[in-house]
Amino acid sequence: MSGGLLVVLLVLPGAAAWAGGSGDGALRMTVTVDGRSDSAERPPAVRVGAQVVKRYLLENLGEAQVYGVRVVDPGVPGGAVRCPRQRLAALGELECVARFRALPGVRLATARARGDVPSLDVLSSATARSGYVGVAGGLTLTERVSVGGGRAAVTYTVANRGNQVLHAVRVEDTALPLGPGAVDCGGRAGTVPLLPPGASVRCTATVLRPPGTHRSTGLATGSDRVPTLDAGGAPVPAPTLTARSSAAFTIPAPPGGAGVGGGSGGSGASGGSVRGGVAGVGGVGGGSGVAGVPGTSGGAGVAGAAGGAGTGAGAAGAGTAGAGTGAGGAPGAPAVPGAPAAVPGGVPQAVPPNAPPSVPRAAPTPVPPTPARTAGSVPAAPSQGVPETVPGIGDRQQQQQQQQQQQQRQRAEAVPDDEGFLGRLRRRAREAHEFGVVAMLLLLLIPAAVAAALLGSRVK
């Protein structure tokens, strides 16, 4: 009897250990998601892109040790669940952890844990369901600009690309000067009350801008009003969602813009015309027509025409000539020697008489005024004709001689009132060499005539 009891006692402990759990019912797993253990019934809301932390608590309810514990969860991207490399003791616990970024949508999955019991050649396993809801607030904004009549019409398109309803979406422009209520969103001033997932609304605005290139910068704001949890299980309020857009546009200048007007009639300046390849500039008329400045070779001034227009002309021997006209001269006034000539732009400038030969300038031909005549005066020799053109390159010495002759002629023409007959003869003899012989004869004949008169009176 005692031997039989001993066999029963030896068998019972072994039987109790096996019966205490080393099979499928000996391993149990509990999963928490961001601190929530009831995620299978009430999955927590997690903002898309935020970190999710899953913790897998493994309990060994058996009396045999479990080796090589591993967890596979389809709800974890890539199945990256880390478990410690240690055995799970009998009646002990072990924790595995998975960390990853939240994805949009409902993410529920069943995880499976496994381990080996080498002493009994048994595979122990357990399952648990868990997950979360990825909250995606996807607000987008695009815009298009059309231009016409100096105005820009901007069309903003706001859309919800998330998985939650957006509330109080507001559309504005931070670059264009739009006043309150300038943006129209379906009859509402720049606000969309509700925007369901996948829906879009168009908003329009019109702005008047000056000609040139401008830029529009749209801004849309809204919220899904969904609070979420962070990795530690703390509540996170719903953020403000923001979307931006930008577009450049150009306002063209209005057609038929005012052009630049020409000079007034009082300026009297005129542009030169090109003939033979070189342009000349005409003179400017003041009180009378003045000599013109030639393009390459100077020309003499010509008397102003009726109506007050002076004309300057210059001609070159190699087919080069310049011509121009000046306005504002007195009717029929003759050209005045030495008057300032016109330059391009209508500003009269005087040409110095001693300018170097390399600088082309006009060679004015003196036109003496009509001398005053008194009783008994001898008429002066007629002046020679003024040539219409002067050679292209003037001679400095010749010009100086002409000026000296002009000054002498002017001094000679000033006749005093008390000058006698002999004085006039001497002056005329000095002025005109044509009367030299006549003066000598008169000087010889006058004394002879006087002597003859005396002799005749004596004889009588």
One-letter amino acid at 41 equals E
DSSP string spanning 280-306? -B----SSS--PPBPSSS---EEEEET
DSSP 272: P
pLDDT tens string 322-336: 333 333 333 443 444
Question: In whole angstroms, what is the distance from residue 300 CA to residue 314 CA?
Answer: 7
Low-confidence spans in the chain with pLDDT less than 70: 1-24, 256-395, 411-420, 425, 427-439, 459-460
Long-range contacts at 392-401 (CB < 8 A, ≥ 24 apart): 392/296, 392/297, 392/315, 392/316, 392/317, 392/318, 393/297, 393/357, 394/298, 394/357, 394/361, 394/363, 396/354, 396/357, 399/353, 399/363, 400/353
Taking the model in full, what pTM does it have?
A: 0.50
Question: In whole angstroms, what is the distance from residue 62 CA to residue 42 CA?
Answer: 31
CB distance 323 to 273 below 8 Å:
yes
State the maximum Cα–Cα separation within the chain, in Å, rounded to a whole number: 229
CB distance 297 to 314 below 8 Å:
yes
Residue 257: per-residue pLDDT? 54
Residue 358: per-residue pLDDT? 45
Q: Which domains are delineated in the chain?
A: 16-135 (2.60.40.10), 139-251 (2.60.40.10)
